[in-house]
Amino acid sequence: VNRFSLNHATTKYWNQTEAIHACARHDVGIGLWREPVAEAGLAATAKLIRDAGVTVTSLCRGGFLTSGEQAALDDNRRAIDEAAALGAAELVLVCGGIPDGSRDVDGARAAVADALAELAPYAGQCGVRLAVEPLHPMFAADRCVISTLDQALQLAEMFPAEQVGVVVDTYHSWWDPQVYQGIAAAGAAGRIACFQVADWITPLPAGVLTGRGQLGDGCVELRRFRIAVDAAGYTGPIEVEIFNDQLWARPGPDVFAETLQRFAEHVA
Amino acid sequence: VNRFSLNHATTKYWNQTEAIHACARHDVGIGLWREPVAEAGLAATAKLIRDAGVTVTSLCRGGFLTSGEQAALDDNRRAIDEAAALGAAELVLVCGGIPDGSRDVDGARAAVADALAELAPYAGQCGVRLAVEPLHPMFAADRCVISTLDQALQLAEMFPAEQVGVVVDTYHSWWDPQVYQGIAAAGAAGRIACFQVADWITPLPAGVLTGRGQLGDGCVELRRFRIAVDAAGYTGPIEVEIFNDQLWARPGPDVFAETLQRFAEHVA
């Protein structure tokens, strides 16, 4: 169980300080989000984390790099700084969709590679790895033009392994007939930066963002993923990241306890 | 424009007889659906089609083969019979999702292959080709475990080319970084059974089934697809199949006219 990490988005409306203290009590890690960190204050959060002895397994998130705008690069440099300040070794990137009015998916993908070329050396200097997350293809238009683990890996491999890795996420990749080969390849290349788990349930809600399933509620072979990621040589934390309106409506401690139990049943 | 075919689902609530007459007047094909055909009567529809001189470019749909149940095979044999009666050379298959309570995506995929082995020879005897349609991965759990053109092609190639082909559908496959290679491969193998077009728009509605975009309203490179499919040697009809609540709320003749115009602007 000590590979468990609570991605704070699973308990989105649970006060971040309380969530950090709960993770400390359970000796598990936490994945933080920039907005609540900013709200609590970056330095204060970093001190709280150090005092609590909790590992920040990732910071979510940078990215949105497809517009080619300087402001996006600047914002990602700030995200790298924040990850470094929090002692988070991995900054998760949601790379961005197709810019408004464009139909150029190849161009958007090329813009991601160009932006990574700008950002990767800086991340490396800061001791932070950029973790490229392939998002489910239903997000390709508006959130992330990187849809498969293979794509993410090809992108990452343009840069040194200590600068750019990939995220394996069961929710985004379970449907992919190539995913287990991709996990093996990413592991062999030392590129698995982050492993996130959530289940897939239907029907999807409008907007499809907040329809992820609690572990065990859906059709994903979560344990098969975990075994594959282990077999690929990954020994790091396993973040549970579930965007779900019903979970968000419940008290954070309840959801945290349930998620720990489901993790033991369905992942560990 | 004479490669245009109106998939009747684009004008779902337009009386089928009226739609057939409109297609006859415009000298374009039509893709029919089993339920309205049954409602109008199979023999009556077949006669109407012959008398009108309209080509039935496909019958939608068979499939839902992942349960392994005999009833599904029987229903698909009836669908093949119906396609033959209508003179439809292609029967589109939506292969089915993961059975309730199962997490065995590989097993579901294997069940599709097993079912095709039962059905393909019969289809061949009837002069009907089974057109395996890869559906967008957001449907993998509940509608179709075949998510990419590559997967569909691998499945089809287990059988003779005159018995099983694949559907290229812009809506389902536009996000796929391998799709243009897949189109070339499918064309070279003589496996493109059907080419369907719709655009991708966001946000997706709840259930995600009825959120397809009118041609030109979204981010899909429709003309690039058409050129790629042409270059792969496909010279058949191009079906416009758009599931969209707003289109369905409008009069069929208006939507038909608009769709013809959009097709000329964005596809032809």
Ordered DSSP codes for B224-237: HHHHHHHHTT--S-
Q: Min CA distance, A140 vs chain B (Å)?
A: 6
A138, closest residue in chain B (CA to CA): B138
Q: What is the pLDDT of residue A2?
A: 81
Q: Which residues lie across from B169 on neighbouring strands?
A: B196
User: Which position has the token pair 């082995």?
Assistant: B117
Report whether B134 contacts B94 (CB < 8 A).
no
- What is the distance between the alpha carbons of residues B217 and A67, in angstroms, rounded to a whole number? 20
In 3D, which of B67, B69, B68 has the Cα closest to residue B99?
Answer: B67
For residues A112, B223, B135 and B188, what is the CA-based torsion angle, rounded to 10 degrees?
A: -100
- What is the distance between the alpha carbons of residues A186 and A152, in angstroms, rounded to a whole number? 9
Q: Which residues lie across from A69 on neighbouring strands?
A: none
- What is the distance between the alpha carbons of residues A258 and B80, in angstroms, rounded to a whole number? 49
Helices assigned H by DSSP within A160-204 = 170-173, 179-188
Contact call for B202 and A137, based on CB within 8 A: no
Contact call for A204 and B202, based on CB within 8 A: no
Q: Quick one: what percent of chain B has pLDDT higher than 90?
A: 99
pLDDT tens for chain A, 268 residues: list them: 589 999 999 999 999 999 999 999 999 999 999 999 999 999 999 999 999 999 999 999 999 999 989 999 999 999 999 999 999 999 999 999 999 999 999 999 999 999 999 999 999 999 999 999 999 999 999 999 999 999 999 999 999 999 999 999 999 999 999 999 999 999 999 999 999 999 999 999 999 999 999 999 999 999 999 999 999 999 999 999 999 999 999 999 999 999 999 999 999 9
Contact call for B219 and A138, based on CB within 8 A: no
Taking 80 as the threshold, does the pLDDT of residue B1 lie above it?
no
Token output for A164: 């750019």
State CA A231 to chain mean position distance.
20
Report whether A113 contacts A96 (CB < 8 A).
no
Chain B residues with CB-CB distance to A under 8 A?
98, 102-105, 109, 136-138, 140-142, 145, 147-148, 150-151, 174-177, 200-208, 218-221
Contact call for B140 and A207, based on CB within 8 A: no
A221, closest residue in chain B (CA to CA): B103
Which H or E element spans position A238? strand A238-240
Contact call for B205 and A200, based on CB within 8 A: no
Phi, psi of A156 (to 5 degrees): -60, -40
Phi, psi of A196 (to 5 degrees): -120, 145
pTM value is 0.97
- What is the distance between the alpha carbons of residues A208 and B203, in angstroms, rounded to a whole number? 8
Q: How far apart are the first and last CA of chain B?
A: 7
DSSP state of B98: P
pLDDT digits (tens, 9 = 90+) for B101-156: 999 999 999 999 999 999 999 999 999 999 999 999 999 999 999 999 999 999 99
